[in-house]
Each structure stands twice: as C-alpha cells, then as structure tokens.
Amino acid sequence: METPVAEQAKATEVSVEERHYNIIGTRPIRHDGADKVTGKALYGADVRLNGMLYGKVLRSPHAHARILSIDVSRALALPGVKAVVTSADLATLDSVVSRVGEGAVNWRYLSNNILASDKVLYHGHAVAAVAATSLNAANEALNLIDVQYEPLPCVITAVQAMRPGAPILLQELRTNELGARGEIPTNIASHDQNMRGDLERGFAEAAVIVEREFTTGIVHQGYIEPHTATAVWGTDDQITIWTSTQGAHDARRQVAEVLQLPVSRIKVIPMEIGGGFGGKTVIYLEPVAALLSWKSGNRPVQVTMSRFEVFAGTGPTSSSVIKVKMGSASDGRITAAQVTMAYAAGAFPGSPVGGAMSVILNAYRMENVQIDGYDVVTNTPRVAAYRAPGGTNAAFASESVIDELACKLGIDPLEMRRINGAKEGDRRVDGPLIRRIGYLETVEKARASAHYQSPLPAPSTPGLKVGRGVASGWWGNWPGGTSSVSVIVNNDGTVNLIEGSTDIGGSRVAMAMQLAETLGLQAADIKPMVVDTDSVGYNDVTAGSRTTYSTGIAVHKAGLSIIQQMRERAAQLWDVESASVDYADGVISSKDNHIGFKELARKVGDGDGNVVASISISPNGDGVALATHIVDVEVDEETGKVQILRYTAVQDVGTAIHPAYVEGQIQGGAAQGIGWALNEEYVYDQQGRLLNGSLLDYRIPTALDLPMIEAVIVEVPNPTHPFGVRGVGEVPIVPPAGAVANAIANATGVRMTVLPMSPQHVLEALWTQGNERV
C-alpha cells in the first residue's frame, strides 16, 4: 500500500512532453501594478489613523552590558509623551523552542530581543520605547530615559566567541549536540555533523588536495523599507496591528506568544511590504507598538525604525569561518571533502549553519565527506533569515576550492562541475536520495552560453586585469508549510482569489496565473488579494521560496473544486449526470450542450448559492533547485577595485510561471550576491559598536555598479507540483561570491579567502601573494 507521501507525489506527476500552457509562461501586467507605480499602494509606514501617536525605541550604546536600572520618570514628564515601556511590561517567558517558519524560535530569547531584560547583548539592542504626539517629542523623550549600565567585555566574531575564556553571553547556554546537552557555560550553542564514507581513504586516493580557510563578514538583507508597525489595543482588548511583514499569521502567532495572549485577540493586517528577503519573518516592533497603545490609553501608535536602527537592531545574516579541505583524483572526481564551519548567530542562538551544511556540497556527488557545523553566539544583532540562509558563505568557500582543484588539474571549471554534478538518483551529501533536479542542465546551458563561448574582453585600460569565473549553487527551498486560500466565482465570471501569502515580489500575479491556467481563464479574470489574519486560513510566511510552490498547490486544488462545482451546476442546468459533463479550457460541455465559464457563472446563484472553494493544505514536497553563474571581472591591482563586466545566471526553475518575475528574482538575487561579494560588511570598533549603519557606508550595489544581468531560465519541471514549480527566489544569491572570487583568481592568480572582496581586502591579498592569513 502506498503511503500518503508517495501517493501525493504521484498525483502531481507532470510529464514534460504533455505540458502545454495557455497562461503559464506569459507575462501579464501584475494586478497591483498600477497602484505601485502611482504611489497609491499603502506600505506599513503609510498607515494614518486619527489620534495616532509616534513611537521610538531606545537602544543600547554598549555591545555587552548588564542593565542596572532604568528610570523613565523624566521621559514621562515631557509634554506630548503618553507612554513608556520596558521589558518589565512583558511577561517572562519560558525558554521554550518552537518550530516557527523553516527553523525554530526560543520564545524567551525572542522576547528578550524585542526588549532587553537584564542584559544588553549588542550595540542597538532595544531597551525601552516611548509614544508621543510628535516624532520630535518621541525622539527627545528617548534622551530623557536614564539607563544605568555595567559594561562587559564583548565578542564580535565566532572565533572570538569560541576561544576558551571568552566572555559568556548567556549563562544558561550549553552546547547542544543533537539532543545531548553539554556541561559547561559556553557561547557555542550547537554542533551538528554530516558524515559518510572514509575520509582517510578518500584523501589517500586524491591526486591533488586543496585546503583553505575562509572568513566572511556580517551582511544585512538591505531592504529599502525600514521595519514598521502600527497598533491599536482596543478598549475591548482586541489588538489590531498593521505591519509590513512576510507573514501576517506568523507575526500574529509571535505577538501572541510574546504578549501571552490567545491569537484570537490579535488581528494582523499585512500592508504592502518594501522588501524582506527573510528579514521580515521575525517580529521586532509589533508587541512594542501594542503595549504603547495600551499604556497610552488605547491610542493608535506607529513605530518605524530609522535606517540606523534597521542595521543595528534587526537581524543581518551570519559572519562565518569556514575551513574546506577537498581532494580530487586526476580525472577530476572529488574523492573526499572535509568541512568545518562556525556561524555567528548574534546575541541568541539560531544561525543558519544547518542550511550552510546542506548548501556547501549538495550540488555534487561524493562518497567520503565530513561536515561539522557550529552555531555560536556573539555580541552582534541576532541574525534573521537572509535569502538562502547560510548558503552564500558556504558556496563562496566550496566553489573556490573546487575551482582551485580544477585549475591545478588543468580541467575546465564547468567540466569539473559536470564531472561531479549531482543528478536524480544520486545520494545527497546530507543523506537523502535526490529526486528530479536540473543541475547538469544548468552546467550545460552555461557552457553553451554566448557568454562562456566568447573570449574574455580586453581590459578597458591597459594594466587592468580581466578574468572569468564560474560557480554553482544549491538550495533546498521550503516546499511545504501551510497555505490557505479562498476562491469565489463572481456573477460576471471573474474570480476572487483570497490569499494570506503576503506579496513581496509579485507573487499575487503568479497565484492568479496558476488559478487562471487551472480554470481555463485569463489572468485578468482573476482578482487576487492578500487579506488579514481573520479573513483567510493560516498561511506560513512568504519565505523559503515556498509561495509559488505551496500556495500554488492550494490555488490549483481550489481551482479543481471550482471546476467540479461548475460541472455539477451545468449538469443541473442540462438535467444530465454530472459524470457526463466535461470541463476543458474554460468550457463546460456534455454530449449535447456546451457553455462558457462566464456564461455559466451568470446563470449560477439564483436559489443555488455561489460557487466557492476554501482550501488549506500542508504539502510534503521537494523543491530542490540549482544554478550555475558566470562572471567576467576587471581588477585594478593598484586600487583593488573589482568591476563586474558581464554576468550570466543560469537556473533551473522547474516551470517559470511568469518569466519576467522569475528573471527578476534571478537578477535581484545575483545583485545581492555581488554586493555581498564586493562591498558589504558590518564594521565594528574595538568596543563592539557598529560604525557603518547607514546606506552611505554600508555599500549596496547601485545601477552604476552592475551591468545587465542575463538570466537564463532552465525548466526541468518538479514532479511534486501540479505545474512543475520549484522555488526560484533564493538560489541566485548562492553562487555569486564564489563566481567573483574565481574570476579574480583567473584575472590575478590570487585566491580570495575573505568576504567582502573589497578594494582593501583585494590589495591585502595581492600584497601577501596568495592571502596567507594568520
């Protein structure tokens, strides 16, 4: 007997040869587009309510300190100030870990991150908040809150935090080794391992071995819209929150947990969101705004972060140290790989080292491998997910080493990927057998591309060095979570699609297209809308590249229900058995009759009720996707400046629902990866204070830094989705750093082992001829 898992996989089996789509693969204008280009779309900070107060947060000036006392009396006395809150207004939560989104959350730590309790753990850690009748009064009030600190020594990097004798951040923390708890206080929150085969034998078989240690800095998601939340704690104790979030239901759940209230007392209204990339799956301001509302006499309170607060007070992603030792036979086959990686989680445990352990070698087949991953706390902001969390750092390391092996063996770098590339039926490095993937197809497409086939351009100025590099990337995507949708057929034959998946990049049009395809209608016949937590069933966050996949499955299933109901209505109309009624391409027919969807919709309703469907699903699935990127760079060896000349990103997307937005995801992810590769990092002083918390000094790519990015879509449909979809948003940020590093090596002969490869770091590497680091 087949298990539900296998049955579901079979039910959605898609044969490539049978595919022909009317709507999928076209490029309709997005439904929310007109509002977004005219400034009418309302984002979180655009909310305006009568009597609204402005909230601001006081943040720690110290990287690590005990809070001795907080005196808010002077702030409360300032005219215009209506409320002040500290962690004393929050319940003390148990140190309990729950599955939230793709990972896990410790509720006490989340609460402590929102408002510090007995210690501040990073420069920028929230300590208190005020609400006042003007922004100016709120800012002035912050200066009147007296906090007495006892500064403590701090640790900024994983290496510092792991040293014996390092200052301990959390006294109760013990190393967790897959359920076994360590004995001594530590900053090492966890150790996990993937291992198989015989490392010693594998290295003994190798003709060439490369061993390198890589260091990467802290980078931020860098969304242009700062975090914001507006809350009203009603006199009936119902709390309404308007926020820019990647998941309204998830935010509601987190707020409920932190405030120790039942979720039914909280309604979260998701506004349009100005970028997230994973960073807006965690709450920061929502409970603060709610408490300020309650304390100010139930007035609306809006709290919006400044740009500095976004950098200093919200989750960037982890800095890391990654050691890779890899051996290859003379024919290019990788015979062994050993990896040790330590990721800095920031103030509380939960770095994406688990994701890193999967990314680092999952694109390849190998028998003898050991990967050890460490999650380490540091006096930096607690990390949040950032687009393929853990992946970019990991691929920077492994793709550099594979490239170096290829160079030493005289094997073309794409050929090296082809020789070792994973395919269906192979066993993944982290254990499971691989289902259908399109990795080798991306390698082949990259090799055949105009970019790869063209010679390197000449330098723009004599003396500059030009080079080409390639890199691949793997991401598992999150082919699951829970998605709920409601579908209503209107009397004129248009269809309302009610979703809870917040739209961070154009997903509502992709959902509408999947429903249109299912029903045989046009995309413009579907009206997608994203609604609040009271109005639709539970939806997990729009993250993990799960939305087009999971919400798409829900949409498809709802469409099938609509089809069944339309067949039944036609059967009633024609007085035949519904089994004899067919539905194809929006036309309902039986032996002697046929009618179009819209015409039938007009006839539905008189005395029979509407045609509606409500679906909630939690699919088991597979969404693995891979990419191969090519980059040409020009290096100025006098200044260390690296310019991107040409960029091609080849990615297996399964099926591109809306190719323009798929291309956009690939280009956007590549651009973030390039910024990470060349410029972006947090800079701290000796006291652990963030020095570059502005968009001037935290340098993200501008239009002048990038060329056109050629996005090449490969489609190897995913059999576990009705339309073959794989998540597309995260994979493209994984290869760029490795590709750029390999291009710099090709141009200059120097292997970069530090991110970012900023002019300073490139010069250091050039001057030390091979970047030998102490």
Partner 1 sequence: MANKTAVQATINGEDVEFLCEPHQSLLEVLRDVLRLTGTKEGCNNGNCGACNVILDGVLVNSCLVLGVEAQGKRITTIEGIAPPHGLHPLQQKFLEHAALQCGICTPGFIISAKALLDHNPHPSEHEVRHWLAGNLCRCTGYDKIVRAVLDAADVMAVEVSK
Partner 2 sequence: MASVWIPSLLRDLTGGIVEFRVSGDTVNDLLNTLDERYPGLRARLCDKDAIRPNIALVIDGLRCQKGLRERVAANSEVHFVPAISGGNLNNKSDLCRMS
Report which residue type is found at 675. G
Least distance (Å) from partner 2 to the CB of residue 404?
Answer: 27
Tokens of 699: 């340098």
Nearer to partner 2 (CB atom), residue 58 or residue 162: 162
Least distance (Å) from partner 2 to the CB of residue 368?
Answer: 13
Select from partner 2, partner 1, none the partner in contact with residue 349, using the beta carbon and a kind-dependent cut-off of 5 to 8 Å.
partner 2
Q: Which of 8, 12, 22, 27 binds partner 1 (CB under 8 A)?
A: 27
- Interface with partner 2 includes 394 (CB under 8 A)? no
Q: How far apart are CA 371 and CA 356, in angstroms?
A: 10
Q: Which of 10, 48, 163, 773 binds partner 1 (CB under 8 A)?
A: 48
Select from partner 2, partner 1, none the partner in contact with residue 735, using the beta carbon and a kind-dependent cut-off of 5 to 8 Å.
none
Considering only residues 101 to 130 of the shown chain, the ones binding partner 2 according to CB under 8 A are 102-106, 109
- Interface with partner 1 includes 367 (CB under 8 A)? no
Q: Closest Cα partner for 12 from 507, 436, 526, 509?
A: 436
Q: How far apart are CA 324 and CA 212, in angstroms?
A: 6
Q: Which of 8, 22, 46, 117 binds partner 1 (CB under 8 A)?
A: 46
Between helix 736-748 and helix 659-678 the angle, nearest 10°, is: 50
Q: Which of 144, 627, 631, 670 binds partner 1 (CB under 8 A)?
A: 670
Least distance (Å) from partner 2 to the CB of residue 85?
Answer: 25
Q: How far apart are CA 631 and CA 747, in angstroms?
A: 12
Q: How far apart are CA 292 and CA 300, in angstroms?
A: 9
Q: Which of 69, 686, 702, 769 binds partner 1 (CB under 8 A)?
A: 702
Determine the interface stretch with partner 2 among 23-31, 117-125, 175-183, 600-608 (rule: CB under 8 A).
Answer: 175-183
- Interface with partner 1 includes 267 (CB under 8 A)? no
Select from partner 2, partner 1, none the partner in contact with residue 6, using the beta carbon and a kind-dependent cut-off of 5 to 8 Å.
partner 2
- Interface with partner 1 includes 274 (CB under 8 A)? yes
Pairing relation of β-strands 103-106 and 625-635?
A: unpaired
Q: Closest Cα partner for 750 from 736, 771, 727, 720?
A: 771
**Cβ atoms of 285 and 306 closer than 8 Å:** no
- Interface with partner 1 includes 580 (CB under 8 A)? no
Site string for partner 1, 490-529 (x = CB under 8 A): --------------xxx-----------------------
Assign 160 to helix, strand or coil: helix
Q: How far apart are CA 644 and CA 743, in angstroms?
A: 10
10 to 106, 336, 597, 726: CA distances (angstroms): 37, 36, 29, 17
Nearer to partner 2 (CB atom), residue 113 or residue 746: 113
Neighbouring CB atoms inside 10 A of 460's CB total 11
**Cβ atoms of 561 and 554 closer than 8 Å:** no
Q: How far apart are CA 422 and CA 311, in angstroms?
A: 38
Q: How far apart are CA 383 and CA 241, in angstroms?
A: 24
- Interface with partner 2 includes 774 (CB under 8 A)? no
- Interface with partner 2 includes 442 (CB under 8 A)? no
Least distance (Å) from partner 1 to the CB of residue 677?
Answer: 13
- Read off the DSSP letter of residue 434: P
Determine the interface stretch with partner 1 among 98-106, 271-279, 587-595, 681-689 (rule: CB under 8 A).
Answer: 271-279
Select from partner 1, partner 2, none the partner in contact with residue 48, using the beta carbon and a kind-dependent cut-off of 5 to 8 Å.
partner 1
Give first-to-last CA distance, the chain, whole Å.
59
- Interface with partner 2 includes 263 (CB under 8 A)? yes
- Interface with partner 2 includes 525 (CB under 8 A)? no
Report which residue type is found at 540. D
Report which residue type is found at 535. S
Q: How far apart are CA 351 and CA 373, in angstroms?
A: 10
Least distance (Å) from partner 2 to the CB of residue 394?
Answer: 12
Considering only residues 704 to 723 of the shown chain, the ones binding partner 2 according to CB under 8 A are 720
Determine the interface stretch with partner 1 among 143-151, 287-295, 618-626, 700-708 (rule: CB under 8 A).
Answer: 700-708
Quick check: bond before 756 cis, omega within 30?
yes
Nearer to partner 2 (CB atom), residue 233 or residue 374: 374
Half-sphere exposure of 309 (CA within 13 A, CB side): 18
- Interface with partner 2 includes 385 (CB under 8 A)? yes
Q: How far apart are CA 544 and CA 99, in angstroms?
A: 14
Between helix 248-259 and helix 107-114 the angle, nearest 10°, is: 90
Select from partner 1, partner 2, none the partner in contact with residue 607, using the beta carbon and a kind-dependent cut-off of 5 to 8 Å.
none
Least distance (Å) from partner 1 to the CB of residue 33?
Answer: 4
Nearer to partner 1 (CB atom), residue 78 or residue 261: 78
Q: How far apart are CA 654 and CA 217, in angstroms?
A: 33
Considering only residues 706 to 725 of the shown chain, the ones binding partner 1 according to CB under 8 A are 706, 708-709
The residues that touch partner 1, with contacts defined as CB under 8 A, are 27, 29-30, 32-34, 36-43, 45-46, 48, 79, 135-136, 221-226, 272-277, 304, 306-307, 504-506, 658, 660-661, 663-665, 667-668, 670-672, 694-696, 700-704, 706, 708-709
